[in-house]
Structure 1
Amino acid sequence: RVKAAVRDFDEETNFSVITEDGRFYNFNVLFNSFPVTLNYNLLEMQKGISRENGNDVLFEELGKNAPSLVGELMETIYKTDKQLIKNIETKSFGIQFLLKGIYIHNNKFYFHTEVRNLTNVPFRIDFIDFKVVDKKLAKRTVIQERTITPLRIYKQLDEISGNTVERNVFLLDLFTIANDKVLLIEIFEKNGGRHQQLEIENSDLVKAKLIKDMKLKIN
């Protein structure tokens, strides 16, 4: 929301907006007590702008990856919904959590996950953790661990209603782990005990599918 600090200024001014996906928008502004347009839909404005126009702002954590391209890759992975991995999953308390695929592009990992609620009781998510731990400690109290923070999340999961399925895509920095360690992806239930945990080994990471010539959905 933007509001003039003073009334009836004569000169034209401008302001810029950088959105979370790295898009850059610039607006020229004149004072008008009764503006014709009160709201601007940036999604609609974006449709007329392609990546080649260079209106992306690069974020430090994404390196040389344009935020719009990252977003398009995550959306494509989500909507294509391929199951590349069939043996990394857990199921307990009527909740099934599985890793459907690991993709790699330009030094970034894309993790595609799915949560199925097979009960009538909603599964409300408190938080999701990514951390590297010693393999021998993975099933016990973790003493030494390294937390990995996702750079982007395509679809934030808050609640999986009864008998429904939800998916999302996580963007992480490229990394590998030693053979005596595992990557844990943990989902903790809010005010509940139906926590879920996946274990990913280095052999799974190095089999990540290279994203090449993937058909993108351009907004």
Structure 2
Amino acid sequence: MKQLLFLFFAVVVTTGYAQVLPPPQPIVLEPLVVQVSINKVTNLVFHHRIMSVEVGSQEITASQVNDTALALQSSTRSFPETNLSVYAGDGRLYSFILIYADSPAHTSFLISWKDTTAFTELEEAEPLTEAAVQQTSADALAASHFLSRHSSDEFGVSLTLKSLYVRSTLFFFVFNLENETGVDYDVLRWHFSIRDKKRGKRTAVQEVDLTPVYLSKDAYHAGFRSNHLLVVALPKFTVPRKKYCLISLLEKDGGRNLQLRLRNNTLIKARQL
């Protein structure tokens, strides 16, 4: 009997020790060191669209040359070591340490995810074919409309976000475009962008354009006293902190321009189709 009790307690103690796990260790991002000068421009070229840029010092100017290129230059002849964070369209955070050099050893960098540690990685999804995009747009129109708080009205014309769906790599925005006036409403341009909530001196990057991959045929016209639903498809994205997504609708030869502002708390409500 004593032997059985001893064996029982030995198993309990051994099992208890086996369940004791070490605390999780944080993942440390290893930044890439980049030299910046007052006399030369340092260029960073990424494989994916730049979504957001944050610079740790006001003495560094970060200017977005195009969707994937960033130009860095110091406004002073010397500055304390600082950092740069770039959030790209591939869902990764690229981290850099910036140091001053009168004559940088290198002034142009082609940045890939192997060069600097990624904060997060998105699973690759098969892109939708053109036919699949059109079919998904039709499905989004027929599906339930669960959003209504985001609306813009100007002189009898209104734009309301009714629902947001996601499939594969695309967002499908369902809007209601209503014209309560006796004058037709013709759209010059749809414009989607990510903007800073507050403009500051820390970086020259204030706005990133988003390009739709699909718009309904009736997205550019609302006849007098009409009301209809339409779909706009965009590459899937989220909005960094202190930024928002601006949706602008500009009237052709008119002033009835509409604007909607969306933040992450709306984007994350997107439903799968």
TM-score normalised by L of structure 2: 0.50
Whole-angstrom distance in 2 between the partners of 1:118 and 1:89 = 15
Report the alpha carbon displacement of residue 82 of structure 1 after superposing the two structures with TM: 3.0
What do you get for the CA RMSD once the two structures are aligned? 1.8
Whole-angstrom distance in 2 between the partners of 1:163 and 1:182 = 32
The one of 147, 153, 156 equivalent to 1:94 is: 156
Query: Is residue 75–residue 154 contact of structure 1 (8 Å, CA) maintained in 2?
Result: no
The one of 168, 179, 187 equivalent to 2:249 is: 187
Report the alpha carbon displacement of residue 210 of structure 1 after superposing the two structures with TM: 1.2
The 5-angstrom pairing of residues 97-112 of structure 1 reads: 97-112=159-174
Determine whether 1:114 maps to 2:187.
no
Residue equivalent to 1:76 = 139
Structure of higher RCO (CA pairs closer than 8 Å, 6+ residues apart): 1
Deviations 1:110-165 (A, max 9, x none): 1111110011111111111001111236xxxxx82110000112334232111101
Report the alpha carbon displacement of residue 63 of structure 1 after superposing the two structures with TM: 4.9
Q: Matched residue of 2:217: which SS? A: coil
Q: Matched residue of 1:197: which SS? A: strand
Deviations 1:39-66 (A, max 9, x none): xxxxxxxxxxxxxxxxxxxxxxx95323
Whole-angstrom distance in 2 between the partners of 1:64 and 1:145 = 26
Determine whether 1:126 maps to 2:188.
yes
- Point out the structure with the larger strand share: 2
Gaps of 5+ in 1: 1-61, 138-142, 212-219
Query: Is residue 155–residue 167 contact of structure 1 (8 Å, CA) maintained in 2?
Result: no
Query: Is residue 119–residue 162 contact of structure 1 (8 Å, CA) maintained in 2?
Result: yes
Q: Matched residue of 1:157: which SS? A: helix
Whole-angstrom distance in 2 between the partners of 1:178 and 1:115 = 28
Q: Matched residue of 2:198: which SS? A: helix
Query: Which amino acid letter does the alignment assign opposite residue 191 of structure 1?
Result: D
Determine whether 1:176 maps to 2:252.
no
Query: Which amino acid letter does the alignment assign opposite residue 74 of structure 1?
Result: S
Query: Is residue 150–residue 170 contact of structure 1 (8 Å, CA) maintained in 2?
Result: yes
Larger radius of gyration: 2
Report the alpha carbon displacement of residue 207 of structure 1 after superposing the two structures with TM: 1.2
Q: Matched residue of 1:136: which SS? A: coil
Q: Matched residue of 1:82: which SS? A: coil
Report the alpha carbon displacement of residue 81 of structure 1 after superposing the two structures with TM: 5.6
Determine whether 1:65 maps to 2:142.
no
Deviations 1:22-77 (A, max 9, x none): xxxxxxxxxxxxxxxxxxxxxxxxxxxxxxxxxxxxxxxx9532322221111122
Query: Which amino acid letter does the alignment assign opposite residue 147 of structure 1?
Result: D
The 5-angstrom pairing of residues 1-219 of structure 1 reads: 63-78=126-141, 80=142, 82-136=144-198, 144-211=206-273
